[in-house]
Amino acid sequence: MPEIGRTTRLIHAPANVVWHLLTDTNQWPRWGPSVRAVDCPTQFIGADTRGRVQTALGLWLPFQIVHWEEGRAWSWKVAGIRATGHRVYSLNPDACQVTFDVPSWALPYLPVCATALRRLDRLATGSPR
């Protein structure tokens, strides 16, 4: 996927804490501004997980995890279209860098991704930032 859009945030929490939030479908509505609900056969996603996501507009769309690197990265297709990629890099035991990549067609979605990263930061650190 030729990503040309990217937003990154330093989070002062262990990478495994952030990874847990990124892969727990019960948490997606808490950090994802465009996610209202998730219908998935498993709580935690993995390689080739499939389910449905309800958008902020109320539409239910199918999703599939199409790239998986345990503890490090995943990306998905939503409604059959390649969507965001999610990456976590451990910097030290207490901090990580989280990056969301977007394909060229989704560049207007970058501010939504930046909001998602701020929410992830608050959830991971318990901070009101």
Model confidence at 127, pLDDT cuts 50, 70, 90, reads confident
Domain boundary assignment for the chain: 3-125
Give the pLDDT band (50/70/90) at residue 4. confident
* The pLDDT of residue 3 is above 80: no
Would you state the pLDDT for residue 128? 64
With a cut of 70, say whether residue 20 has pLDDT above it: yes
Residue 98: pLDDT band (50, 70, 90) is very high
- Residue 60, φ and ψ in degrees, nearest 5: -95, 125
Which three-class secondary structure string do you get for 4-51? Answer: EEEEEEEECCCHHHHHHHHHECCCHHHHCCCEEEEECCCCECCCCCEE
% the chain with pLDDT above 90 = 92
Q: Give the domain 3-125 fold.
A: Alpha-D-Glucose-1,6-Bisphosphate; Chain A, domain 4 (3.30.530)
H or E, element range at 113: helix 110-125
